[in-house]
């Protein structure tokens, strides 16, 4: 979806998106890393199932909600990636207790 600058020399960080290894860069937010990946990162809303992508990239719109390391409804645009981070794209409503 997006391309990185070839001059981007920041150290790589490996994250996992729905169980698939994805290369990110140190300093990326989860949303920036997802948009730069080749993964389908569209989440679906809980009520209507409408598809959403990260939009505002500053924590206002909530279209970037993901599950990070088992904790749901995290705003990916506000969370920096860390080595080995487990990210799940949210599909619809979550079950209580998950």
What residue ranges define each of the domains in the chain, with the CATH number in brackets? 12-89 (3.10.20.440)
- pLDDT per residue over 61-98, tens digit each? 999 999 999 999 999 999 999 999 999 999 876 665 55
Task: Please give the angle made by the CA atoms of 81, 37 and 89, to the nearest 5 degrees.
Answer: 70
Tell me what percent of the residues of the chain surpass a pLDDT of 70.
91
55: left (phi over 0), alpha (psi -120 to 50) or beta: alpha
Alpha-carbon gap, residue 97 to 61, rounded angstroms: 25
> Are 59 and 75 within 8 A, CB to CB?
yes
- Does the pTM exceed 0.85? yes
Give the single-character DSSP code of 29: B
Give the single-character DSSP code of 70: T
């Amino acid at each position: 979806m997006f391309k990185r600058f070839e001059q981007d020399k920041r150290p790589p960080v490996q994250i996992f998106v729905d169980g698939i290894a994805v290369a990110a860069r140190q300093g990326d937010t989860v949303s920036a890393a997802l948009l730069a990946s080749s993964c389908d990162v569209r989440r679906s809303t809980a009520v209507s199932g409408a598809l959403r992508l990260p939009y505002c990239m500053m924590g206002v719109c909530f279209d970037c909600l993901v599950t990070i390391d088992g904790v749901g409804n995290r705003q990916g645009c506000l969370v920096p990636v860390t080595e080995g981070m487990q990210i799940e794209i949210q599909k619809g409503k979550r079950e209580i207790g998950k």
